[in-house]
Structure 1
């Protein structure tokens, strides 16, 4: 049975209280109601509520923030196409009024303002004025470090998607100022400095409550940030990517023995591999922005497999993804969980029409069942919600970052270690045993392109693909084509401007400090 680390009822309290005086378009700059804050943050319990509110806002438990981010990461690539909508996201053919990216942007700024408000209310002077004990102050200091991590993570998401977003801070919130715009390189520097500042202020790896960030989460985000530094900052940081991925690797984590266990309804047991998670529970979180989306969205997958109900018939993969595996079933590589069946008509590999949910295989990676295969009891009015926790960071990603950074010339690591880490991933995939040699590759096969393909196999539908393809210069160029890239079935190169999403028109119009990303 899953143990809850946060009392989920806190969510309604904090999210209703904090923005009661704010208008929708200005969540990044208007201060909150002081009386409301004084009431909310009068006790240590109130600060815990505020902390919970930031975690739940990040995870999409109260909105579609992470769901929006996931769709922008996947639907723009070969890993996913969607049945619904105009398909501009899949075609890489959006404009400055792109609704999907605007919603993610607004949700991200909302979360950042929530974090800024918490940090203001937890200042040393404010805590002293409210009469908190030294013990309580020490506990709240840990909360502040976690909120700063969440804020840095949210800013990393905005950096990755938009490059040059609005930059609300504690000062702009306190002074009711219109935020300035921050440029991509400067935002990289800010995120790096924030993460380094709180390194050591969170709890040590694997010692915090499940679902709360610790120092290993900070190192993981730094490793991810540094791997993409040449895209974000124009300067490679592969040495640093090795350093921080290795810090996580050496912190006592290990791969779970069975890859299928990673995305099940009882995956809270995967504490050997999971570094930081979004926690979901069907009896406490009633939202369609959680892992419901990935389990129920997979086209054609029946309730007997996904553990909940009939498919939404929403997502499929392009033919390029099954082509990365030795076969279209998991008999060899157990990560090849492609759904190829359909009760009414044959499901095709090729996608002749994006609007036809039977065109294209989907995957049954996310299943709301336990390790024994039994569906989990539903304790909600919808009778159709997910218990699958989402691993924001897991050890396999750190192995892949280490190996890629070594191959790109980073120092501080070595090829034998990189090969050993990759073969652990493959040993689990081929034999449910990270120490198996069944899926092993040799050193000559360990190339950058192999790492890109292996990451697609290992972390399919986990929200990485767009960022990876950009780093490999394959996202907008003709270097790699997939079905419906550029709006044509065979795929076509597109304008390089699509490596960033536009700053939403609503923010441009309401904030005179902003300029649009190039090309929009």
Structure 2
């Protein structure tokens, strides 16, 4: 699909998010969207741009033509910013850099003026805007006026459902991170106006209704191109929405979560117990034996998706100290992200029985005394730009990886099943949940030595197992909030609250603030509680 991105630069050329009063598509080119879409090829090209909005930072790559203004193009990448908001604020990741206010994530000391939180927020709104314009341009009326019929019409209707999924995904990120956000859909006109703020409860209902409506319109599971959403991706997102409903709307929806979890499990995805856990995070994870586990990925290609966010950031920034970059298929380490002792302690031994604990300890201190020193904290070797045979990715410079990011995978769904059952959801059993967990642990241990009994399957175990299985995949903050351990003092980790040993933080920080730039631009918006 990414071969289409560079060809489609008219409709979405030069979009910039500058304030809440211009939150929708504003084409700067004189050629209108209606004219562009007279070309049948424009539809797949425009859809490619929506998918690329998660992976890329601008129109040109790797720098020089950013999609959003006010922040370095590499910093502004959607996946890079989402990952930081989800992981740097937890026990799983610390970053050594001193760029701006980045360490506010570690200390839970962020404010509405934090530029990284603003970039995350702007990226989400920009992505919604891309999807909105595509959905406008693919309405029944628009397509009929252009004489679109037959096979092309059927294909475009599938594209439209995918665009609605991508919009729902970004609105879910907004719901989870910010709660009450400006709300714009394809039914709103383009141009400068003040979007109304939607409540978290109403946004939950909107996302739910969207996903339920497009469920039957999506391509069947495992029948779409790799990296494009299908019905199973929509089911997984619905399950995540329901699993977190008690946080979002103060209602338990665990039975509904299990309904869609079971649909995903029955769709034919497989956890390959004969392939090492590490295969999931290599440059050929779209084709190697672990690819059967991936439900929805954010795709990267070292030659065609060149930017300094996404997997470029996750691979390079994980390397430093005495680590050898070529072992990871890249030309340099950025001496950035590593983990805390709180995460290390969740494994029975280091680099031992549980293969998921892939810690690099040579020259690294387990404890973080200096947050700005890469060698304080064990490094991780999760993401690599090499294939199963050790060959480096396609970019000969070693700058940009081929590794795809696993947004949704079956292991996560297995863990969701177990949690939903223990929280009282109907449609599953503790016995089956234990079996699913042991599939993951058998892969991790290489045998049954790490398997658990039904009596050992508790909510606390599941939270720790989610950390061991899914670390650095963008889930941790959401998980800790759902278990009541992100803020407050029930669970401490190094530098939580700005203290080396960790301290309690205020519960209102379970939500990030609406950026002050948007509050100034749109006086109809209200700040999240606690940030005034």
Partner of residue 41, structure 1 = 37
Aligned with 1:293 (options 313, 325, 333): 313
SS in 2 for 1:396: helix
Q: Which runs of 4+ in 1 moved over 6 A?
A: none
Matched, 1:321 2:343: yes
Partner of residue 260, structure 1 = 278
Matched, 1:368 2:385: yes
Q: For each residue in 1:207-236, what CA deviation from the matched residue of structure 2 results, as whole angstroms up to 9, or x when unmatched?
A: 011111000000000111111010011101
Matched, 1:156 2:172: yes
For residue 8 of structure 1, report the CA deviation from its aligned partner: 3.0
The more displaced of 469-478 and 80-89 is: 80-89
For residue 304 of structure 1, report the CA deviation from its aligned partner: 3.1
Partner of residue 356, structure 1 = 373
How many Å separate the matches in 2 of 1:127 and 1:22?
A: 27
Partner of residue 262, structure 2 = 246
Contact 1:11 1:52 survives alignment (8 Å): no
Partner of residue 3, structure 2 = 8
Matched, 1:90 2:129: no
Q: How does 1:110-121 map to 2 (within 5 A)?
A: 110-121=126-137
C-alpha distance 223-419 of structure 1, shift in aligned 2 (>3 A): same
SS in 2 for 1:392: strand
Q: For each residue in 1:291-335, what CA deviation from the matched residue of structure 2 results, as whole angstroms up to 9, or x when unmatched?
A: 111111114232132111231010010101110011111x31010
SS in 2 for 1:321: helix
How many Å separate the matches in 1 of 2:77 and 2:440?
A: 31
Q: For each residue in 1:358-393, what CA deviation from the matched residue of structure 2 results, as whole angstroms up to 9, or x when unmatched?
A: 1000100101111012223424xx531110011111
Contact 2:419 2:462 survives alignment (8 Å): yes
Q: For each residue in 1:84-119, what CA deviation from the matched residue of structure 2 results, as whole angstroms up to 9, or x when unmatched?
A: 124111100011111111001101111101111111
Unaligned runs of 5+ residues in structure 2 are 59-75
Q: For each residue in 1:430-470, what CA deviation from the matched residue of structure 2 results, as whole angstroms up to 9, or x when unmatched?
A: 00xxxx42321111111000000011000111111100000
How many Å separate the matches in 2 of 1:358 and 1:479?
A: 28
Aligned with 2:84 (options 64, 67, 71): 71
Aligned with 1:458 (options 448, 455, 469): 469
Contact 2:112 2:515 survives alignment (8 Å): yes
How many Å separate the matches in 1 of 2:105 and 2:125?
A: 22
For residue 9 of structure 1, report the CA deviation from its aligned partner: 4.5
For residue 512 of structure 1, report the CA deviation from its aligned partner: 2.3
How many Å separate the matches in 2 of 1:376 and 1:207?
A: 26
Aligned with 1:283 (options 286, 303, 307): 303
How many Å separate the matches in 1 of 2:324 and 2:426?
A: 48
SS in 2 for 1:17: coil
Q: How does 1:405-484 map to 2 (within 5 A)?
A: 405-431=420-446, 436-484=447-495
| Aligned length in residues | 503
For residue 61 of structure 1, report the CA deviation from its aligned partner: 5.5
Partner of residue 516, structure 2 = 505
Q: How does 1:63-212 map to 2 (within 5 A)?
A: 64-85=77-98, 86=101, 87-174=103-190, 177-212=193-228
TM-score, with length taken from structure 2: 0.91
For residue 46 of structure 1, report the CA deviation from its aligned partner: 0.3
Q: For each residue in 1:486-517, what CA deviation from the matched residue of structure 2 results, as whole angstroms up to 9, or x when unmatched?
A: 00001000111211111111111111221111
For residue 176 of structure 1, report the CA deviation from its aligned partner: 5.0
Q: For each residue in 1:158-180, what CA deviation from the matched residue of structure 2 results, as whole angstroms up to 9, or x when unmatched?
A: 11100001111123234754210
Aligned with 2:527 (options 495, 516, 519): 516
Aligned with 1:336 (options 344, 353, 357): 357
Partner of residue 69, structure 2 = none
SS in 2 for 1:324: coil
C-alpha distance 129-512 of structure 1, shift in aligned 2 (>3 A): same
Contact 1:31 1:173 survives alignment (8 Å): no
Contact 1:61 1:286 survives alignment (8 Å): no
For residue 58 of structure 1, report the CA deviation from its aligned partner: 2.2
How many Å separate the matches in 2 of 1:133 and 1:362?
A: 55
